[in-house]
Amino acid sequence: MNTVAETRLTRPGSLEKNPRLSQWLRVHRDGTVSIYSGKVEIGQGILTALAQIAAEELGIAVERIRMVPADTAVSPDEGVTSGSLSIQDSGAALRRACAQARAVLLASAAARLAVSTRDVQVADGVVRAGGRSTSFWECADEALFDREIDDTAALRSPGDYRVVGKPTPRRDLPDKIAGQPRFIQDMALPGMLYGRIVRPPHNFAGLISLDDSKVKSMPGLAAIVRDGAFVGVLAEREDVAISVQRALRLAASWREADPPPRDVHAWLKEHAAEHRVISEKGNAGARSRATKTLEASFTKPYLSHASIGPSCAIARIDDGKLMVWSHSQGIFNLRRDLALALGMREDAVVVRHVEGAGCYGHNGADDAALDAALLARAAGGRPVQVQWMRDDEFAWAPCGPAMALNLRAALDAHGDIVDWEHELWSNGHSSRPGRGDSPALLAAWHLTSPHERPSAINMPLPAGAADRNAIPIYDFPNQRVVNHYVRAMPVRTSALRSLGAYANVFAIESFMDELAQAAGIDPIAFRLRHLKDPRGRAVMEAAARRAEWSRWKSTEGRGHGIGFARYKNMGAYCAAVAEVEVGRDVRVDRLILAVDVGLVINPDGVINQIEGGAIQSTSWTLKEQVKLGARGIASLGWEDYPILKFSEAPPVEVELASHPELPAVGAGEAAQGPTAAAIANAVAHALGLRVRDLPLTHERIAAAISQST
Amino acid sequence: MGERIQLTVNGALREIEASSDTPLLYALRNDLALKGTRFGCGSGQCGACFVLIDGHPTPACDTPLWSVADKDIVTVEGLGAGGALHPLQTAFVAEQAAQCGYCTSGILISAAALLAKNPRPTEREVREALDRNLCRCGSHNRVVRAVLRAAQE
Ligand code: FES
Ligand code: FES
């Protein structure tokens, strides 16, 4: 037996913060069970996976589970839904909570039947002994769960799983496919006013003047709210709110802000505030064997989250209490910063999660919540819905940071890497609310008494942020990895799916191919000779097999490439093979991904996440970059920020490794880096020359060709 | 402001009070509480707000009320016959053809228009027919499979 102390060590963090059984579930007389999780549905299918886990440990049908939307008033605080951690955090906590709940319910049922728990049979919540029966539902009693989760209940062994590991349809999709109201954008509360924010779609240093004389008498206008440079409108009709917003934008004059740098990547390299060596390994003997040294620089542009549904929030202030409905990824953090920005006590604010469109990281969801709260102050107790317009979202939501990377490595005479150096320059990858002295919410920085805009930060390793996946997973005798943190932010940045891993893996895996070529060794064989990790080797071999890598026939303009990583160096393994055709533009013909996420909770859910991640990464890699102009972000609509279309999306094949005995890890961010690298390597293979600056557009390729001739 | 406007939506004649310049999107969502048609860009570039107007997939965000007074408007809620799901919707559920689902209504509209005029499309024709609909989650391949599946049934 493990000691208690040991079990405690591996206890999920969510349980430490929320130790009472009653915080996690409630059993109802009608034969259903409400599950409370602090994690939120963002289109990744988490509620379905968590329902599976709960049903499994309770030993009941998954249809009996009701997932309660996260709400600061009733849900456990599980921080932010991010970093592919929900299965690890919430799943592991629910597993223990539900196992104990089952034990408690069984004991209560046995007592009711006046038998020992050893003598009962139980199926789907019905408990039988000696011809008599009762059920979990009959035993349901609030007081039963009013106790600490003590980790004494036995967890079901993965070999006996009946619900976990089976493809399970997503619980939220039937509504969404039927066109039923489901999103925060669809909520309509009685008496609700429609709000819009009058922000210029560009940077500004202040509001000089606002002439509202032309719009003041518009029928249906309820209020124009101004606090410093924050301006919003409230109207009885949504179309009126939009008309007034447009008119006021034209009638406002803004003080210009400093323009962003022209060459962002050069600027980043000149403005690092901190330099941290995050990995260093030395072996002079190995280094002295170096016979050939290669060097290369890579860049990644600012990327937009570019949700299809712009940010939205609803707020109501009633009797000094603020109620907010938001598609935030972190409702507790949002509550804290709302209180900070509004000068309210945290316990006077409730934030409830309502689903929004896919967000892929920290977009404008939290900002819209403060916007709505500020307008609600002028709404006389009526609820207010704020909907950002398309250009609000592009101009004001944080971007995924631009990055610059320099790599250098040395090979010995046998083609082994004997020295490795990786330097990266980047802004911080998180400016989420709830972490600093000043609210990380846009409107707070524009008020009459403005709060200071906090700089984006990096979470520490091992997960890391800008330096996520910067430490190579390969075994090199010498290595040095340096993270140059840039504090000043020409463009507001925050978390975008996979954070720094996308650029780091793109650079490392591109460079591995350059080194393989210099060594005259097949790229996959070259990687395998530097990789000991058996699970990593297995996914790479699986992808190569499925792609029939060694049987590739080269034809003019076509190429294939590999990319590999273990997300955060401790999460999901993913190897990608891309097959491309390079004409005027790059076309990806086929993507093959082999993935190992340990225990698979919902195979179809994992495959859906990997497919989606691979296609999104294809879009980033081939097409996407936020354009900058003199007034900041100049990509304000889909015409300036094209994303992958249906006719451009490649077929994606996913191979899933099965490891029921290993802990489950998230799949949502595993594919991005490897896919980018696989495409870049395939393009280099097709062209015989390498493009190191993302995205791999026609212009970039043409420039690379002209440089090489 | 405040004219009475008649619209034929999902086969029923409806009357609302709004300015005739109002984009159809807001009349559907707010006056008629048909929330399945979604706002994405407001300028005809993303497909989230597509509805069928006399059978053509059309951005409701870009369509003023005055232009559809005598037209037949079908929203995602009215795709199926008699309140049942359209075969496309059944196929989308079977293929789990969405992630966040925000783009789904508009895609269903484009796909329904395609199948109405080309009941047995090739994969390529499906992709081309959906090129005006953006999906950010990367559900493209599942969506295409679902449309092909619906065409087979
Ligand atoms: S909202 Fe109408 S096309 Fe985008
Ligand atoms: S499923 Fe999210 S945008 Fe398409």
Residue whose pair of structure tokens reads 């320059």 in the numeric block: A425
Same domain, A188 and A172: no
Same domain, B63 and B94: no
Which residue among A186, A612, A652 sits closest to B99, beta carbon to beta carbon? A612
Beta bridge mates, A483? A276, A424
Give the pTM. Answer: 0.96
Q: How far is B70 from chain A (nearest CA, A)?
A: 22
- Residues with Cβ within 8 Å of residue A684, at least 6 apart in sequence: A510, A513, A559, A561, A690, A691
pLDDT value at residue A10: 62
State the Cα angle at B41 between B102 and A615, rounded to 5°.
Answer: 50
Tens digit of pLDDT at every position of chain B (153 positions)? 579 999 999 999 999 999 999 999 999 999 999 999 999 999 999 999 999 999 999 999 999 999 999 999 999 999 998 879 999 999 999 999 999 999 999 999 999 999 999 999 999 999 999 999 999 999 999 999 999 999 998
Q: How far is B31 from chain A (nearest CA, A)?
A: 9
Ligand 1 center–CA B99 separation, angstroms: 19
Q: Which residues of B touch A615 (CB under 8 A)?
A: 138, 140-141
Q: How many domains, in total, are found in chain A?
A: 3
Task: Look at A637 and B124 and tell me if their CB atoms are within 8 Å.
Answer: no
A445 within a domain of the structure (yes/no): no
Same domain, B61 and B95: no
A261 within a domain of the structure (yes/no): no
Residues 577-616 of A with CB under 8 A from B: 604, 608-609, 611-616
Same domain, A172 and A210: no
Q: A505, A452 in Cβ contact below 8 A?
A: no
A45 within a domain of the structure (yes/no): yes
3-state secondary structure A494-530: CCECCCCHHHHHHHHHHHHHHHHHHHCCCHHHHHHCC
pLDDT value at residue A5: 33
A478 within a domain of the structure (yes/no): no
Same domain, A112 and A223: no
pLDDT value at residue A668: 92
Domain end: A364, A396, A428, which one? A396
- On whether any CB of chain A is under 8 Å from the CB of B42, the answer is yes
Return d(Cα A140, Cα A131) in angstroms, integer.
21
Return d(Cα A622, Cα A613) in angstroms, integer.
14
Buried b (16+ CB within 10 A) or exposed e, A272-300: beeeeebbeeeeeebeebbeeebebebbb
Residue among A425, A411, A311 at smallest CA distance from A369: A311
pLDDT value at residue A280: 97
Same domain, B96 and B148: yes
pLDDT less than 70: residues of chain A = 1-10
Query: The domain spanning residue A151 has which CATH number?
Result: 3.30.365.10
A284 within a domain of the structure (yes/no): no
Same domain, B118 and B138: yes
Residue among A139, A41, A98 at smallest CA distance from A359: A41
Task: Look at A615 and B98 and tell me if their CB atoms are within 8 Å.
Answer: no
Same domain, B59 and B32: yes
A508 within a domain of the structure (yes/no): yes
Q: How many domains, in total, are found in chain B?
A: 2
Same domain, A539 and A589: yes
Same domain, A163 and A194: no
Query: The domain spanning residue B33 has which CATH number?
Result: 3.10.20.30
A197 within a domain of the structure (yes/no): yes
Query: The domain spanning residue B123 has which CATH number?
Result: 1.10.150.120
pLDDT value at residue A421: 98
Helices (H), A327-459: 331-342, 365-376, 390-396
Atom of ligand 2 nearest to the CA of A309: 3
Same domain, A91 and A228: no
- On whether any CB of chain B is under 8 Å from the CB of A170, the answer is yes
Q: A615, A628 in Cβ contact below 8 A?
A: no
Return d(Cα A54, Cα A60) in angstroms, integer.
9
User: Structural domain of residue A663, as residue ranges?
Assistant: 500-709
Same domain, B111 and B143: yes
Quick check: CB of B109 below 6 Å from ligand 1?
A: no
Residues 627-656 of A with CB under 8 A from B: 637-639, 643-647, 649, 651-652
Which of A44, A308, A608, A644 maximizes ligand 2 atoms within 8 Å of its Cβ, making it the mutation to test the pocket? A308
pLDDT value at residue A505: 98
Same domain, B45 and B106: no
Same domain, B91 and B69: no
Task: Look at A646 and B135 and tell me if their CB atoms are within 8 Å.
Answer: yes
User: Around Cβ B84, how many Cβ atoms within 10 Å?
Assistant: 10
Ligand 1 center–CA A654 separation, angstroms: 32
Same domain, A517 and A652: yes
Same domain, A630 and A705: yes
Residue among B60, B10, B20, B57 at smallest CA distance from B40: B60
- The answer for A134, left when phi > 0, alpha when psi is -120 to 50, beta otherwise, is beta
Same domain, A133 and A220: no
pLDDT value at residue A7: 37
Q: Which residues of B touch A590 (CB under 8 A)?
A: none
Same domain, A13 and A82: yes
Same domain, A91 and A51: yes
- On whether any CB of chain B is under 8 Å from the CB of A464, the answer is no
Same domain, B24 and B69: yes
Same domain, B19 and B56: yes
The residue type found at A348 is A
Task: Look at B35 and A186 and tell me if their CB atoms are within 8 Å.
Answer: yes
Task: Look at B77 and A179 and tell me if their CB atoms are within 8 Å.
Answer: yes
pLDDT by residue (tens digit) across A333-357? 999 999 999 999 999 999 999 999 9
- Residues with Cβ within 8 Å of residue A319, at least 6 apart in sequence: none
Domain end: A349, A379, A396, which one? A396
- On whether any CB of chain B is under 8 Å from the CB of A673, the answer is no
Q: Torsions phi, psi of B29, nearest 5?
A: -70, -45
State the Cα angle at A653 between A648 and A656, rounded to 5°.
Answer: 145
Residues 385-424 of A with CB under 8 A from B: 387, 389-390
Residues in chain A: 709
- On whether any CB of chain A is under 8 Å from the CB of B108, the answer is yes
Q: How far is B64 from chain A (nearest CA, A)?
A: 11
Q: How far is B73 from chain A (nearest CA, A)?
A: 15
Task: Look up the ipTM and state it.
Answer: 0.98
A485 within a domain of the structure (yes/no): no
Domain end: B25, B44, B78, which one? B78
Same domain, B57 and B121: no
Question: In chain B, which residue's Cα lies nearest the Cα of A590?
Answer: B141
Residues 63-102 of B with CB under 8 A from A: 75-77, 79, 85, 89, 92-93, 96-102
Q: How far is A700 from chain B (nearest CA, A)?
A: 24
Same domain, A120 and A138: yes
User: Structural domain of residue B29, as residue ranges?
Assistant: 3-78
- On whether any CB of chain B is under 8 Å from the CB of A178, the answer is yes
Same domain, B74 and B100: no
Q: Which residues of A touch B92 (CB under 8 A)?
A: 173, 177
